[in-house]
């Protein structure tokens, strides 16, 4: 719950009150004019296409208490020289008041799920503060500190990366005691040029640690990350060399799985409210973090079943006896391959159908990334595949070249086209829908779900 006045916020962020008494309570924050609620503070972000300052009068009319602005606007506002630095100043001020453990989480894939697992594993300590949803940017991650309370026992901060310096910025204001790097993949590779660049960008969190770095044992860049960690490194994964090792995994339908593992010679078992071996790995990272923060291993493992997995991450819905699996929050080669593997591992009474959208933000590696997914598809016994998007043709080409039956694969021309094909799904079928967020593939299911 947010309990802060405009005066307190302005002081912490180095801003000046304009048209405000300072006693006004801030009840929330909005970065989009459509998100404004009564009493919220609107952040006037100046983007490449849209300038938030232009919406100042509209958001106050809609109920915003004020605008956080970089230039004067004709409504009550808190004036700051630089929005990003102001938000960082606010977060640093609040962080300085907290003496409990802070876990920083980043990675190319799985960071939001790892955040939710970590918050759940830490819950035996008491109240845990975490980013809501995917509020993990330089504009939204600092604002979680507005909900810091005296009862808060630990903070879990997810950090996004779209270029060099961003993780460094977020880690500076968060000052994590320990950090999880889920994996070095290809998401946002066009911003940093290569996987080596991604590894460097994600590793920016390491220099800010006062405690251990928690790293995936099978990561291609484990050696690089280990060399940059200033303190202890603790690994997790299926590898026999992992410090926290998953020794057993079994799916139990689309909404649950069970794992067994060993950490420092002690066995544990856990029920997860989702499926996929990649999620078992995320859960292992959370167990390490919780134990390092003082939670008993058995309690941490038991609490994983209470994790809240966000929407459109292997989210299942049913209609007319057909199971639809929505995993289109975003997509990278790594997550596409993981989704295909999960589609094959969970029992299906009928056909297995995959709708695979193109992957954005891969830059010069776009063709390579899509062909990697095509190779994974060639090894999967999927009954029917629909690809969508110009670049998705490389998925189809590679899969067919490696022996996937061309008769099982087709290319859709629009969301309506996908919809028309899925209407014919039969009772017992399982349909995986996976692609970049910008495609809005879930809209193809309108009228079906």
**pLDDT tens-digit series, residues 359-379:** 988 888 899 999 999 999 999
Q: What is the mean pLDDT of the chain?
A: 95
Dihedral, 299, 300, 304, 310 alpha carbons, nearest 10: 140
Q: What is the pLDDT of residue 97?
A: 96
Residue 310's pLDDT is 82
How large is the average pLDDT for residues 203-232? 97
Give the C-alpha separation, 429 to 49, whole Å. Answer: 42
Q: Is the pLDDT of residue 189 over 80?
A: no
User: How much is the pLDDT for 162?
Assistant: 81
| Token couple for 134 | 């995917």
- pLDDT > 90? residue 312: no
Q: Given a cut of 80, is residue 1 above it in pLDDT?
A: no
For residue 368, the SS3 value is helix
| Mean pLDDT in residue range 159-172 | 94
Q: What band does 127 get if pLDDT is binned at 50, 70 and 90?
A: very high
C-beta atoms surrounding 372 within 10 Å: 21
DSSP strands (E only) in 165-243: 178-181, 213-216, 233-237
* % the chain with pLDDT above 70: 100
- Residue 7 reports pLDDT greater than 90: yes
The Cα–Cα gap between 241 and 247 comes to: 12
Residue 194 pLDDT:
87
Q: What pLDDT score does 111 carry?
A: 92
Kindly report the pTM of this predicted structure.
0.92
> Residues 397-447: pLDDT tens digits?
999 999 999 999 999 999 999 999 998 899 999 999 999 999 999 999 999
Coil, strand, or helix at residue 383? coil
Strands 66-69, 77-79: parallel, antiparallel or unpaired by DSSP? parallel
Query: What is the mean pLDDT of the segment spanning 238-247?
Result: 98
pLDDT at 133 over 90: no
Kindly tell me if the per-residue pLDDT of 188 is higher than 80: no
Query: Residue 202: which pLDDT band, with cuts at 50, 70 and 90?
Result: very high
Are the CB atoms for 275 and 288 separated by under 8 Å?
A: no
Specify the residue for token string 């109920």. Answer: 63
Q: Is the dihedral of CA 134, 138, 141, 144 positive or negative?
A: negative
Provide the pLDDT confidence category of residue 356 given band limits of 50, 70 and 90.
very high
- What was the pLDDT predicted at 364? 85
pLDDT at 134 exceeding the cut of 90? no
What is the model's pLDDT at position 309? 87
**From the DSSP assignment, how many helices (H) and strands (E) are in the chain?**
14, 22
Q: Which two tokens stand for residue 67?
A: 């605008």
Q: Is-contact 246 238, C-beta < 8 A? A: yes
Tens of pLDDT, residue by residue over 265-306, are 999 999 999 999 999 999 999 999 999 999 999 999 999 999
At residue 48 the predicted structure's pLDDT band, cuts being 50, 70 and 90, is confident
């Amino acid at each position: 719950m947010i309990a802060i006045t405009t005066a307190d916020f302005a002081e912490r962020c180095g801003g000046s009150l304009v048209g405000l008494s300072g006693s006004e309570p801030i009840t929330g924050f909005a970065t989009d004019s459509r998100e404004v609620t009564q009493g919220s503070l609107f952040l006037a972000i100046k983007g490449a296409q849209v300038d938030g300052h232009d919406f100042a009068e509209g958001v106050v009319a809609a109920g915003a208490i004020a605008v956080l602005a970089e230039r004067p606007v004709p409504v009550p506002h808190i004036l700051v020289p630089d929005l990003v630095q102001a938000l960082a100043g606010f977060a640093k001020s609040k962080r300085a008041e907290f003496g409990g453990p802070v876990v920083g989480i980043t990675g190319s894939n799985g960071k939001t799920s790892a955040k939710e697992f970590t918050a759940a594993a830490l819950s035996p300590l008491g109240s845990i503060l975490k980013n809501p949803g995917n509020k993990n940017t330089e504009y939204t991650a600092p604002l979680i500190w507005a909900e810091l309370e005296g009862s808060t026992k630990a903070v879990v901060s997810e950090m996004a990366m779209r270029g060099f310096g961003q993780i460094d910025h977020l880690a500076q204001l968060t000052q994590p005691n320990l950090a999880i790097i889920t994996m070095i993949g290809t998401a946002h590779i066009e911003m940093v040029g290569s996987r080596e660049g991604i590894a460097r960008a994600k590793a920016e969190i390491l220099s800010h640690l006062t405690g251990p770095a928690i790293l995936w044992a099978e990561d291609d860049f484990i050696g690089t990350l280990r060399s940059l960690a200033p303190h202890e490194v603790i690994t997790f994964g299926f590898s026999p060399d992992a410090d926290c090792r998953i020794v057993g995994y079994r799916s139990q339908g689309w909404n649950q799985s069970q794992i067994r593992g060993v950490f420092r010679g002690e066995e544990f078992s856990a029920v997860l409210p989702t499926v996929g071996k990649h999620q078992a790995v995320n859960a292992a990272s959370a167990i390490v973090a919780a134990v390092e923060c003082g939670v008993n291993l058995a309690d941490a493992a038991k609490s994983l079943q209470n994790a809240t997995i966000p929407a459109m991450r292997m989210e299942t819905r049913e209609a007319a006896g057909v199971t639809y699996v929505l995993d289109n929050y975003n997509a990278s080669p790594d997550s596409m391959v993981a989704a295909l593997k999960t589609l094959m591992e969970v029992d299906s009474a009928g056909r297995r159908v995959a709708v695979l959208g193109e992957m954005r933000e891969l830059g010069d590696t776009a063709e390579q990334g899509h062909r990697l997914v095509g190779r994974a598809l060639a090894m999967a016994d999927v009954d029917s595949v629909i690809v969508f998007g110009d670049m998705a043709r490389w998925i189809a080409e590679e899969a067919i070249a490696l022996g996937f039956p061309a008769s099982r694969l087709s290319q859709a021309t629009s969301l309506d086209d996908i919809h028309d094909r899925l209407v014919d799904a039969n009772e017992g079928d399982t349909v995986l829908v996976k692609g970049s967020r910008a495609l809005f593939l879930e809209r193809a299911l309108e009228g079906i779900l």
